[in-house]
Amino acid sequence: MAIQAQEEKNFNRWSIELEAGAHKPATPFSPGYYTSTPSLWQGGLGVRYMFNEKFGAKLDFGYNSITNADNSLEFESEYYRANIQGVVNMGSVLNFRSWTNTFNVLIHGGFGYSANKPSQPNEFSSADQMLNLMAGITPQIRLGNSVALTGDLSVLGHVRHSATWDGAQPLNSVVSDNQLRGLNGYTVNASIGLTLYLGKNDVHADWYSEEAAIYSELEEMDRSYFKN
């Protein structure tokens, strides 16, 4: 029966992630244009699937409203992204379950598509389309079997930026040809949110403990034995 408990690993695998918070687009900007530190608003929605208690993948979407700081020249841009990412449950890798069932940490990273659409001072006929590379860390606090409170800090680097975040100038008029190659635009997102766990089992992979599952199975065997 203990072996059966180890093989079955009855935990939920699907979750929905909701987050919102602040951000800071770092580069590139035209002279005289910049944002507050930090800036509001940005948010995201993701769907995650865990292959096992340590590794998973997620598809997520995000939106950033990029506007000028008080002393900057005025501008407004809307940034959209879609990413596919791998996820590592550090709580399982580092055996957090041996000392806590409340705190956990996920790390994630992957790539995706981004588009930045400036509307002021210049309204482009089409968005600035880019490839993004994303990496981040997500601390979790377990509120119950079906929900966890999360924080997240993520960095996005971009390839094929063709205009500044503010949209006032093409990128090749602001940086050198060497700087146009590779990653040439960055932003940082800081969020708080909720993870909603889906499934009929008592626990999600984020919080699964193989040792606890074995002890639970052994306790049930003991109860069954003494009943008989």
Q: Name the residue with higher pLDDT: 128 or 8.
A: 128
Structural domain boundaries enclosing 197: 12-202
Q: Name the residue with higher pLDDT: 33 or 122.
A: 33
Give the pLDDT band of residue 8 (cuts 50, 70, 90): low
Contacts of 9 (CB under 8 A, 6+ apart): 52, 53, 208, 210, 213
Is 4 inside any structural domain?
no
> What is the phi-psi region of residue 199: left when phi exceeds 0, alpha when psi lies from -120 to 50, beta otherwise?
left
User: pTM of the entire structure?
Assistant: 0.87
Is 46 inside any structural domain?
yes
pLDDT of the residue at 116? 94
Given a cut of 70, whether residue 220 has pLDDT beyond it is: no
Is 2 inside any structural domain?
no
The tens digit of pLDDT for each residue in 182-191 reads 678 899 999 9
Is 58 inside any structural domain?
yes
Is 218 inside any structural domain?
no
Is 76 inside any structural domain?
yes
pLDDT of the residue at 228? 58
The tens digit of pLDDT for each residue in 160-186 reads 888 899 988 887 666 555 555 667 889
Is 7 inside any structural domain?
no
Give the pLDDT band of residue 224 (cuts 50, 70, 90): low
Is 57 inside any structural domain?
yes
The answer, yes or no, to whether the previous bond of 31 is cis (omega within 30 of 0) is no
pLDDT of the residue at 126? 76
CATH number for the domain spanning 175: value is 2.40.160.20
Number of domains into which the chain is organized:
1
